[in-house]
Amino acid sequence: MKAAIVQRAGEAPIFGEFAEPRPDPGERLIRVTAAALSPLSRARASGTHYSSSGAFPFVPGVDGTGRLEDGRRVYFLLPRAPFGAMAEATVVPDAQWLPLPDGLDDAAAAAIANPGMSSWAALLERARFRAGETVLVNGATGASGRLAVQIARHLGAGKVIATGRDAETLAALGADAAISLAGDAEAIEARFRQHFAQGIDIVLDYLWGMSAERLLIAGAKAGAERRPIRFVQIGTASGAEISLPGAVLRSSSIALMGSGLGSVALDRLIAAVGGVLQAAAGGGLTLAKRIVPLSDVERAWQEEDRQRTVFTLG
């Protein structure tokens, strides 16, 4: 079958022939129609993600949309290695697919499912979000962050605060407030402290690095009389490590946690995707995308684009 193939760690996939998958008992064969290029797919291909197997060659792509053998339209997550989503066909365990709602096309579903799942699961499964709470999205100008702003609003947040470097993109997000990440660490922390003084319940962090450090320090400095802060770490776009004084956690009621593969049960991640797809089908969530034929995977893989790249077949 035709597929994108990662031959060695750190290399862009090539388009070529890969062995046709055969489903084992308890699995489904899916004829793929669309698969998005996600940061997780890139990280696994580079061999740097904690869930990378280290085995090559393999087909990249952690999720997508397609057809079961009976013709049903489905979304699927985490195909069995070495088969991924970026191929004409793949295989997934029975518990790792769900029907696509009517009114949502395959490419739109593939684009929105994974980044939407990240904030949906972080809010409901990890932070135990309650309607009316204030949510700050750190790194709101990427695909996942833009959806996080929409999802927090969709779920009933009383106030949504967005951070990012691109002032124009921040202004277009529809958040209640925006915080620029331009400038030095002290200036950024000062901006954060102004908002913590008014109360923040949940931080969804897609960046880590310096901005996360300053968010945590600013939250602690807001004072013990402020309401507890649930800080959910989701992505590391600005760095894999931070330097955090222990006093930040001792002197505050900050609860620091992560959200992702391993910290949320797989069945709950699937349920989160279901919520995202239903919301998208109802018009409550949108995400800009560009459609690229899978045969162009090597070129598109290496391009930077603010829109979500979705590979299609056929």
Residues of the chain with pLDDT under 50: 224
pLDDT value for 59:
97
**For 100-118, what is each residue's pLDDT tens digit?**
999 999 999 999 999 999 9
44 - beta bridge partners? Answer: none
Place of tokens 């309607």: 131
The pLDDT value given to residue 43 = 83
Helices (H), the chain: 39-46, 106-121, 143-154, 167-171, 185-196, 209-221, 246-250, 266-281, 297-301
Q: What are the tokens at 27?
A: 């699995």
Report the distance separating Cα 102 and Cα 291, nearest Å. 20
Write down the pLDDT at residue 51: 63
Domains and CATH numbers, the chain: 2-103+282-312 (3.90.180.10), 115-258 (3.40.50.720)
How confident is the model over 230-240, as pLDDT tens digits?
999 999 999 99
Q: What is the pLDDT of residue 68?
A: 98
Q: How far apart are CA 230 and CA 288, in angstroms?
A: 29
pLDDT at residue 251, as a whole number: 87
